[in-house]
Structure 1
């Protein structure tokens, strides 16, 4: 009897323990929505009409329970002053069955560049509009990595200089790649698709900096159309494809075609999707190429034909809008610049990474570099599963991503003389903070790239030689 009693007692205790445990179990249900799109941007001084246009595109597609849409934006100072009731302060839009719900949630001085504000927008949206996948759109102006990409500041009420991504003319600030990285980390949510709907930001330096916080990145290495993305098309693609990759296979070519139809094909444009799962593989291949490339460059005797020939190949044949030659000019330049302009401070330029590495290896008849470029193409084809371009030269069979290419005198320039208040007055110090440079050491080339304007001429014996173009020569 005692044994039976003890057995029954033990059984009851087990049952009670199991019952108590089951009461503590929280049943997690999967969100019904496939996507939540979070747009974060600003009118930036001259893009307010385009911002309204893009928001209206999303609204015109209409509410769908599969794709939720919200936007936290600010309009330019002049627009806010002209219509405080509808455009004043910081606005939060949410797409509902009745259209875009509009709420003023903060003042005009709200700091879009503060990493904590970026993180809060993401985390609060995840709670408010849960979904299986999250899309973060950075909407506004953009630029190549430059001196404006300052690291995370200690106190955001005070003025700090930021890059031209989501530039806010109300506070005169923009988001640097370091601030974006920090905001993504603090949010606690891995973004399924980061879409920077801005100019020039699809560079390997920017992509590698945020690789651990996002699954896919969509963006342009060229200037982005003033139309912005096609948000009705985006809603449609997401609405019909629960898988991000399949949705982008529909969205990307349709959007570039839309730009072409509206603006013509005379200026270069692209939209490229990057799968971050292959980022490390690609960057390791890039490192091998850079190691060999730097060794080759450092072995060139200054002023020799090989040295002048190198500058001839790595120049640019492009001219500015006034028809003037760029700072670093060559009729035989092989590099394809997405945009080459000098703003008076940065002198930064972004070239097509794959095209540059491939064309240099082949034209220098360097089989090792050419072979590494081939391996890079194979890896990049996996990393860039969807891409579309228009208005580019015929020799650009594919648009990859940008890579910074600049002259040594600008790379090591001391910006403190301009009294801009930067914490890092030398651009080379800022570039060395990038994870990409820490892995590949690309700055080894940039800090020694003392470029010359070079042309070629026929000698008396009928051969050809390279020569440096002096400043007073055409």
Structure 2
């Protein structure tokens, strides 16, 4: 697949590595890759308490024997004080994943790469802010330039804790919570959902990502799907909490072949056996799902006066998706909500069935209990599970808050408005 010059370069770099380096290093200017079937980019925001988990997952990746038509790149940002393996480096590094014949261990053998878009070189360390749009967009631009492929996929690895903002008791006067990923302790920042979309759009230069996976908590939410619908084809993740250990990357990477992104979808669908609510979502018709859900929410307004408490109890009955015994953002399963709603209001079953139909057309998996796994934000809850009467400004339509996601801007029936309208506003404010 590679020309003679590239083969010579690889041999030369490998020879140098065997003499003086534990990790192969590569200058991007020496690479001339032919187009492969799939380039998978893993964005590992581990400048936090997940540093040790990141090193474990990188080693899991190296156990896999990759198909020659697949490239796997991992940008990892480490922290200080959580893990000392692999020489205890604490900067940001970009790797092309290589097989480690010694199996699972705590030493990396993958090829460290330079990247001009990110200012990464092989002669000095650099600390990247993983929450910045420019970091992700630069990585995607580099991946397309140096590792061209027929298909591209992105995994967002790390924390995804819902509407990251001030503690509940501090939100009375100035709420700044935002739906976010890529938490970076060194910079004290995170990547809001709308910035994630902008980074993908800029990094892919108008081309859609074939798939985005969230190895995080709360990745498979309607708000996330709606934000990314125009720049991503498929989304994979969990609607609730994800295990600390995350995905099995050995099994994931070994499942990849010349089928490319189709292999990814099959793998994630099979993960339902171990992840009780794993979602594979086609984003092509998310707009229709959003519209039907928002229309149903508008229809429910007339029942709030007499049945407000009944609706709150119904929402709790679905089993809120939240961090247990803590102040937390709470989500509900849309499918479970619809099932309970039809029992309470059978006379609006036509609108309920419309949402269910669109939900079924978008989500290609079922949870272990049979429900269709896709969540939506409801409210904040305290440690006892009681609903808060405060909403983050970024989840209030018309508040003027920065970094509002498209879901909040476009919803007229579900999200709370600055005037107190909207299903959630009428229920909880």
What TM-score do you get using the length of structure 1 for normalisation? Answer: 0.67
Structure 2, unaligned runs of 5 or more = 1-32, 101-108, 115-119, 167-175, 382-386, 416-421
For the residue of structure 2 that corresponds to 1:238, the secondary structure is coil
1:348 CA displacement: 2.4
Tell me how far apart the structure 1 counterparts of residues 367 and 34 of structure 2 sit (CA, whole Å).
35
Residues 145 and 348 of structure 1 are in contact (CA less than 8 Å); yes or no, is this contact kept in structure 2? yes
Tell me how far apart the structure 2 counterparts of residues 285 and 83 of structure 1 sit (CA, whole Å).
50
Identify the residue that residue 65 of structure 2 maps to in structure 1.
Answer: 62
Structure 2 vs 1, CA of residues 164 and 84 (structure 1 numbering), >3 Å: closer, same or farther? Answer: farther
1:85-125 deviation per Cα after TM superposition (whole angstroms, max 9, x unaligned)? 55221011112467511358375642111111110010011
Residues 286 and 440 of structure 1 are in contact (CA less than 8 Å); yes or no, is this contact kept in structure 2? no
Identify the residue that residue 419 of structure 1 maps to in structure 2.
Answer: none
Residues 340 and 350 of structure 1 are in contact (CA less than 8 Å); yes or no, is this contact kept in structure 2? no
Tell me how far apart the structure 1 counterparts of residues 53 and 331 of structure 2 sit (CA, whole Å).
25
Identify the residue that residue 287 of structure 2 maps to in structure 1.
Answer: 280
Identify the residue that residue 122 of structure 1 maps to in structure 2.
Answer: 140
Alignment of 1:1-150 (within 5 A): 32-79=35-82, 82=84, 85=87, 87-96=89-98, 99-103=109-113, 105=120, 107=125, 109-147=127-165
Please tell me whether residue 171 in structure 1 is matched to residue 187 in structure 2.
Answer: yes
Aligned alpha-carbon RMSD (Å) = 3.1
1:11-66 deviation per Cα after TM superposition (whole angstroms, max 9, x unaligned)? xxxxxxxxxxxxxxxxxxx9541111101112243322321222222221124321
Identify the residue that residue 346 of structure 2 maps to in structure 1.
Answer: 366
Structure 1, unaligned runs of 5 or more = 1-29, 149-159, 261-268, 317-333, 416-423, 452-474
Tell me how far apart the structure 1 counterparts of residues 139 and 427 of structure 2 sit (CA, whole Å).
42
Alignment of 1:15-414 (within 5 A): 32-79=35-82, 82=84, 85=87, 87-96=89-98, 99-103=109-113, 105=120, 107=125, 109-147=127-165, 165-187=181-203, 188=205, 189-239=207-257, 241-242=259-260, 244=261, 246-257=262-273, 259=274, 269-297=276-304, 300-301=305-306, 306-314=307-315, 316=316, 334-339=317-322, 341=324, 344=327, 347-360=328-341, 362-368=342-348, 370-385=349-364, 387-390=365-368, 394=369, 397-406=370-379, 410=388, 412=390
For the residue of structure 2 that corresponds to 1:219, the secondary structure is strand
1:436 CA displacement: 1.8
What TM-score do you get using the length of structure 2 for normalisation? Answer: 0.74
Identify the residue that residue 456 of structure 1 maps to in structure 2.
Answer: none
1:294 CA displacement: 2.3
Matched positions, count:
356
Tell me how far apart the structure 2 counterparts of residues 66 and 238 of structure 1 sit (CA, whole Å).
9
Residues 39 and 152 of structure 2 are in contact (CA less than 8 Å); yes or no, is this contact kept in structure 1? yes
